[in-house]
Amino acid sequence: MSKPTDVRITAAALYLLPVQTRVPLKFGRETLTFVTCARVCLKVQDEEGRSAVGWGETPLSVQWVWPSALGYQERHGALVNLAKAMVPAWAGYEATGHPMEISHGFQQAALPTLLSTHNADREQGQEIPYLAALLCCSPFDLALHDAYANLHGKGVYETYTQEYMSNDLSAYLESSDRSASPFLGRFPCDFLVSDPPRQLPAWHLVGGMDPLEAGDATAPPPDDGYPVLLSDWIRRDGLTCLKVKLRGDDAEWDYDRLVRVGRIAQDNGVLWLSADFNCTVTEPDYVNRTLDRLLADQPRTYGMILYVEQPFPYDLEACPLDVRSVSARKPLFMDESAHDWRLVRLGRSLGWTGVALKTCKTQTGAILSACWAKAHGMTLMVQDLTNPMLAQIPHVQLAAHVGTIMGVETNAMQFYPDASLPEQQVHPGLYRRRDGLVRLDTLSGSGFGYRVDEIHRDLPEPAAEVDGL
């Protein structure tokens, strides 16, 4: 059934914003020094002809979505071209409804065809992965949620109710067994935090190339006034949570890294650690041996590890490892593997206990995965894609509204802080961590609360647009 609040998309534009890192960020076996942020503006209209625009933004993080021996420039160019192709695809998508309904339909029908078209002329083994297609799709999805809420003068999360959505969650989700569906007659609002916090503990990323102590740096540190050593970051920002990037293919290096970070953390009042093996581990015993060795020799560091993140390969269906031995030791969170709720269901059956959500896999997908996970007793975290500028805002909003195991990962202020200076003028507490927290109290108004009209950022000419805005 249609509702008078339903909308359709009438126009779209894509802007490409280049960002250079101040220090390298290691992703698995690759290193990020440059990223292009895709910023999207969508216009929607209701049956009465009322219209509004919305904004979405996602870093096109090539190394994260597409690990490959292919050169960076080739993969980057392919993602940019796919993002450009999304503009007419979204602007021409004729569905009407709530953003959850429109975007879910687009992801089920239009996105696979678009990806297949772009992969048709690529050689075997060089195809753009589905995760990369979701990444290119996500700023459009975010902009749709923002535009819809702006049209109705509501916050995005106020629209996830029966008043605005025609279909309950049973139209999108199935239970893990044949029992009565936990989704009949229920909407996303039933699984979200009713009174979201206005500040969140901030997780700092300890990258694989980050110098921990004096003498670690392999190159002169940037002379830009920002901290360099881990202890300096902890003291300046009052950090209490550290996420440690590991290699996953060098057990001695990983163990030593955890020991060193643990010692610095303990000396500086940090409370929690997480271990991110970056999808490079091929068997559970690798993780188990690392954890067991810490428990025996470094019990305090072991106790500080709140959870372990995605040690194993991206493709859960191709590599369905039984990981119960790992989750028996520490909570084990899916990240890259959790493209949608069906993969979350598969992961739970294999022993994964939590889900790391990201807005770069679409707001729609994140909300559906969160609802499925919470209905089945899984815990949640919201992980960063080093989100700068506007991308930071839906990211922290998601963490505040779904209820995480502990705060939110946020690290753009480490790797490209100056990229967000215009946004920081309006939302200082979101782009500078203080007392170990990020603050959401400046977010206000409709949509995601960007207050975009107050942010003085000069955008380039659109890389692609349809119908004008």
User: Residue 204 has which token pair?
Assistant: 């700092």
Do 316 and 243 lie in one domain? The reply is: yes
**Non-local CB neighbours of 328 within 8 Å, separated by 6+ positions:** none
Query: Average pLDDT of 333-350?
Result: 93
**Same structural domain, 89 and 199:** no
Q: Domain of 63: which CATH number?
A: 3.30.390.10
Helix (H, G, I), strand (E, B) or coil at 181: coil
Neighbours of 103 (CB within 10 A): 27
For residue 222, what pLDDT is reported?
Answer: 85
27 and 142 share one domain? yes
Same domain, 243 and 157: no
**Measured between alpha carbons, how far is 385 from 139 in angstroms, rounded to an integer?**
13
Look at residue 465 and tell me if it is in a domain.
no
Decide if 456 is inside a domain.
no
Binning pLDDT at 50, 70 and 90, where does residue 107 land? very high
Answer whether residue 71 is part of any domain. Answer: yes
How many residues would you count in the chain? 469
Numbers of helices and strands, H then E, in the chain: 16, 13
> pLDDT (tens digit, 9 = 90+) per residue, 405-422?
999 999 999 999 999 999
Do 203 and 160 belong to one domain? no
CATH of the domain at 271: 3.20.20.120
Instruction: Look at residues 119, 151, 182 and tell me which one is the last residue of a structural domain.
Output: 182
Listed residues 182, 202, 220: the one ending a domain: 182
Residues 160 and 57 in one domain: yes
Q: Quick one: pLDDT at residue 469?
A: 78
Rounded Cα distance between 281 and 279, Å, is 6
Domain that holds residue 33: 7-182
| Residue (of 179, 178, 134, 67) closest to 368 by Cα position | 134
Q: Are residues 196 and 173 part of one domain?
A: no
Which two structure tokens, joined as six digits, stand for 308? 């372990």
- 251 contacts 286 by C-beta, under 8 angstroms: yes
pLDDT band at 134 (very low <50, low <70, confident <90, very high): very high
Are 218 and 104 contained in the same domain? no
User: Which residues, in sequence order, are CB contacts of 13 under 8 Å at separation 6+?
Assistant: 40, 41, 87, 462, 464, 465, 466, 468, 469
Residue 306's pLDDT band (cuts 50, 70, 90): very high
Query: Would residue 467 count as lying in a domain?
Result: no
308 alpha-carbon distance from chain centroid: 17
Using the 3D structure, point to which of 154, 182, 210 is the last residue of a domain. Answer: 182
Which H or E element spans position 350?
helix 341-350
Q: Are 410 and 400 in contact (CB under 8 A)?
A: no
Q: How many CA atoms lie within 13 A of 341 on its CB side?
A: 24
**Residue 81 burial by CB count (10 A; 0-12/13-18/19+): exposed, middle or buried?**
middle
Say if residue 203 is in the same domain as residue 176.
Answer: no
State pLDDT tens for residues 175-221: 876 666 899 999 999 999 999 999 999 999 999 989 999 888 777 77
Q: What is the pTM of this model?
A: 0.96
195, 158: one domain: no
pLDDT at 28 over 90: no
Q: CB atoms < 10 A from the CB of 321, how many?
A: 18
394 falls within a domain: yes
Residue 29 has pLDDT above 90, yes or no: no
- Asked if 372 and 341 count as a contact pair (C-beta separation under 8 A), the reply is yes
> Tokens at residue 153, please?
């003068």
Same domain, 206 and 167: no
pLDDT at 157 over 80: yes
Number of domains in the chain: 2
Rounded to whole angstroms, the Cα distance separating 151 from 403 reads 27
Q: Is 460 contained in some domain?
A: no
431 lies in a domain?
Answer: yes
In a domain, 453, yes or no: no
User: Quick one: 389 and 411 in the same domain?
Assistant: yes
Q: Coil, strand or helix: which one is 244?
A: strand
Two structure tokens written together for 206 = 């300890």
Indicate whether 1 pLDDT > 80. no
Question: What per-residue confidence (pLDDT) applies to 258?
Answer: 98
